[in-house]
């Protein structure tokens, strides 16, 4: 009696892709069109976490300094706004890039106020340590060391002001320009692709 040969096991049919070649083409175009927006999201996220970290370190090192605590709080606030706005831009929300731009102006303002206050302190009070500020020590050393210390303060914190103007001002302009790119992206990208991205689905 011959053995019965079992019927062959049918191979599973590959599932048909719900996306047509046209869909894939449109998604590729959208991916290329959104490169600059994604780059802005990445930079804003990095900068936001950097600011939050610096804010925490500033607060820890300034527990006895009211001005230091104020700067730490300001940096923390700016960092949290940066992260929130980065998330909005990732979801392609209108106004997110503009919020990032204004946040950079806020950061620049915080840095400039802090630097101006430090310069004011240097020119209205003693700069050197109490030991070096004693009258007999100052008489022996003259006022040159005090003047030199004030000059150093002016150079350092004047540099902070210049950095805030050019760095934060330039970054603000960068983000403001991304708002125009976002509007152009939303106008040229099919709505179904935009909805996928807003739902967190990478295209």
Q: The dihedral of CA 14, 15, 21, 27: what is its sign?
A: negative
Average pLDDT over residues 82-108: 96
Q: Is residue 10 part of a domain?
A: no
Q: Which two tokens stand for residue 162?
A: 């210049």
Average pLDDT over residues 53-60: 93
Q: Is residue 165 part of a domain?
A: yes
Lowest mean pLDDT among 74-88, 93-107, 118-132: 118-132
Q: Is residue 18 part of a domain?
A: no
Share of residues in the chain with pLDDT > 70 (%): 83
Q: Is residue 99 part of a domain?
A: yes
Residue 175 neighbours by CB under 8 Å, 6+ apart: 40, 44, 97, 98, 100, 101, 104
**Banded pLDDT at 128 (limits 50, 70, 90):** low
pLDDT tens string 162-177: 999 999 999 999 999 9
Give the N- to C-terminal CA distance of the chain in Å, as an integer. Answer: 61
Give the model's pLDDT for residue 19: 75
Q: Is residue 187 part of a domain?
A: yes
Domain tally for the chain? 1
Q: Is residue 15 part of a domain?
A: no
Give the model's pLDDT for residue 104: 96
pLDDT tens string 4-28: 566 565 555 555 567 788 888 999 9
Residue 127 pLDDT exceeds 80: no
Residue 73 pLDDT exceeds 70: yes
HEC sequence for the chain: CCCCCCCCCCCCCCCCCCCCHHHHHHHHHHHHHCHHHHHHHHHHHHHHHHHHHHHHHHHHHCCCCHHHHHHHHHHHHHHHHHHHHHHHHHCCCCCHHHHHHHHHHHHHHHHHHHHHHHHHHHHHCCCCCHHHHCHHHHHHHCCHHHHHHHHHHHHHHHHHHHHHHHHHHHHHHHHHHHHHHHHHHHHHCCHHHHHHHHCCCCC
Tell whether pTM > 0.85: no
Q: Is residue 11 part of a domain?
A: no
Residue 36 pLDDT exceeds 80: yes
Q: Is residue 83 part of a domain?
A: yes
Residue 130 pLDDT exceeds 60: no
pLDDT tens string 147-159: 787 888 899 999 9
Q: Residue 136: which domain range?
A: 24-191
């Amino acid at each position: 009696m011959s053995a019965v040969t079992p019927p062959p096991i049918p191979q599973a049919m590959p599932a048909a892709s719900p996306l047509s070649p046209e869909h894939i083409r449109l998604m590729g175009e959208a991916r290329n069109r959104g490169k600059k927006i994604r780059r802005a999201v990445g930079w804003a996220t990095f900068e936001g976490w950097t600011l939050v970290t610096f804010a925490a370190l500033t607060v820890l090192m300034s527990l006895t300094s009211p001005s230091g605590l104020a700067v730490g709080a300001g940096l923390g606030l700016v960092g949290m706004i940066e992260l929130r706005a980065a998330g909005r831009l990732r979801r392609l929300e209108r106004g997110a890039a503009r919020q990032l731009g204004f946040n950079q102006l806020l950061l620049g303002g915080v840095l400039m106020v802090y630097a101006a206050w430090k310069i004011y302190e240097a020119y209205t009070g003693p700069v050197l340590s109490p030991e070096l500020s004693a009258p007999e020590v100052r008489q022996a050393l003259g006022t040159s060391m005090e003047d030199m210390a004030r000059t150093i303060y002016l150079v350092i914190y004047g540099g902070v002001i210049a950095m805030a103007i050019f760095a934060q001002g330039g970054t603000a302009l960068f983000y403001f320009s991304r708002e125009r790119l976002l509007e152009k992206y939303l106008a040229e990208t099919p709505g179904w692709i935009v909805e996928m991205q807003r739902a967190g689905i990478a295209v």
